[in-house]
Amino acid sequence: MNKQISKSGRILIVDDNEDLLKAAKIFLKRHFLQVDLEKNPEAIPSILSNENYDVILLDMNFTKDVSSGMEGYMWLERILEIDPSAVVVLITAYGDVQTAVQAIKAGATDFVLKPWDNQKLLATLHSAMKLRESKLEIKDLKSKQKHLHEELNNRFQDIIGQSPAMQKVYETIDRVAETDANVLILGENGTGKELIARAIHNNSSRSSGVFISVDLGSITETLFESELFGHVKGSFTDAKEDRPGRFEVASGGTLFLDEIGNLSQPLQAKLLTAIQNRVITRVGSNKSIPIDIRLICATNMPIYDMVAANTFRQDLVYRINTIEIYLPPLRERGDDIPTLANHFLDLYAKKYNKNTTKISDAAITRMDKYQWPGNIRELQHAVERAVIMSTSQVLQPEDFNFSSKNAGKDDDGVTLDQFHLEEVEKILIRKVLKKYNGNITQAAGELGLTRSSLYRRLEKYGL
């Protein structure tokens, strides 16, 4: 472990004692990748503007101020202004308990006395480096969360659509959002079930809490408990540290379980127990942890047919569908197609810096007649491709690869109404795979699916 840290450690030592600096470098360079020295603290801002350090060793007393430590506190404050995640270890020959406490309160990570014991110094630096890694990880997570939040708000600030079918959805959201009732969202792939779940969360009393989304279809049987309920260090081979599960992380907020219809019956039983008892137990632990979540589930599968066929537990359905929301497919909300298409046009014209500003009336007419087996997700990708490929300011029917004979048929001339939706999906997957010569990653991107979701469908349809 120490060997790995020593290969990556970057240390800066700021002290006006040249002999101390040389001695420290001789010792520390054997343990760390980079050890930089600086006698003049006035150079700190310039150094930090060009370099990033894992740990900064900072003297508390320079020639201007021999023993009070005030210079050290001042430079500590400057360093933390420049880099709030900096890890600073203060050093002094005049330290005592009170000085150490003041240094920690001022933002220092630790405090060492000189002359120091080399092994104690090394241990202090290794500990400080771990703290630096943790600070950077937290900073990165916060940045990603902020970016994701902004992206979601920018792209889907409001649910788009005012058709009668969507008005019923809005009315239900208004009624249930402020309650803590469990909600089950039913709808085909690509209809925007997660968007509805987020709308419920954002309009609830839990809106200041987290919204945790879990794709149950992508979690393997062996990792289900670890992912949802967490684990303790050493509970299995790769459990190198304690880790909270999604239920625990979502406590105080909303937990969205997508593709719940894909769960096997043993996993359904485990999920039901957690929902009923409102407690979870991490893998490898006997300690029960209470959870406080608002549960929203979604599926594109015929869950009531599955109950009748004894492939989905009826008692679990009762638990998750206190309120049920049916999200209509795009073909049942034709009035919303022009609004959605123009929304995506604006989005991708800006993203790709294109001067495409309009969708022709002829193209809108074709869109209205088309069945959209992939729903909003398919429409979104269709507009994105059209914007990328078109050289005109106005998108025409041919930009969307519709059948020239009948927009209600697919490119093979098959009338979509002749087949069950699964047959349509099978045909669509086969065509996209052929288009990309069997490349799963490209095909999944085209279909708006994850790789794991596409693999499941390939297995399901025997493709």
Angle of CA points 198, 202, 208, to nearest 5°:
120
Q: Domain map of the chain by residue range?
A: 2-137, 169-327, 330-411, 419-463
Return left, alpha or beta for 213; rule: phi > 0 is left, psi -120 to 50 is alpha, else beta.
beta
* Superfamily name with CATH number, domain 2-137: Response regulator (3.40.50.2300)
Q: How many residues does the chain have?
A: 463
- From CA 362, how far away is CA 173, in angstroms rounded? 35
- From CA 145, how far away is CA 105, in angstroms rounded? 29
Query: Is 384:344 a contact under the CB 8 Å cutoff?
Result: yes
SS3 373: coil
* Bridge partners (DSSP) listed for residue 55: 11
Domains 169-327 and 330-411 share a fold: no
| Nearest alpha-carbon partner for 90 in 73, 67, 105 | 73
Domain 169-327 matching CATH 3.40.50.300: the answer reads yes
Q: What is the pLDDT along the chain (463 residues), one digit of tens a residue?
A: 444 444 678 999 998 888 888 888 989 888 888 999 998 889 999 898 888 899 999 888 776 555 566 777 888 888 888 888 889 988 877 655 566 677 778 788 887 877 788 888 888 888 888 888 887 777 767 665 655 555 444 433 458 888 998 999 999 999 999 999 999 999 999 999 999 999 999 899 998 899 999 999 888 888 999 999 998 888 888 878 888 899 999 999 999 999 999 999 999 999 999 999 999 999 998 888 999 999 999 999 999 999 999 999 999 999 999 999 999 999 999 899 999 999 999 999 999 999 999 999 999 999 998 999 999 999 999 999 999 998 899 999 888 876 433 344 444 444 444 344 566 677 788 888 888 878 888 888 878 777 777 877 887 777 7
Q: What is the CATH number of domain 330-411?
A: 1.10.8.60
Residues 6+ apart with CB under 8 A from 141: none
CA distances from 291 to 242, 246, 334, 385 (A): 17, 10, 41, 44
- From CA 287, how far away is CA 281, in angstroms rounded? 6
Evaluate the omega torsion of the peptide bond into residue 373 and state whether it is cis, within 30 degrees of 0.
Answer: no
* Bridge partners (DSSP) listed for residue 308: none
SS3 258: strand
- From CA 342, how far away is CA 346, in angstroms rounded? 6
Q: First and final CA of the chain: distance in angstroms? A: 47
CATH T-level assignment (fold) for domain 419-463: Arc Repressor Mutant, subunit A (1.10.10)
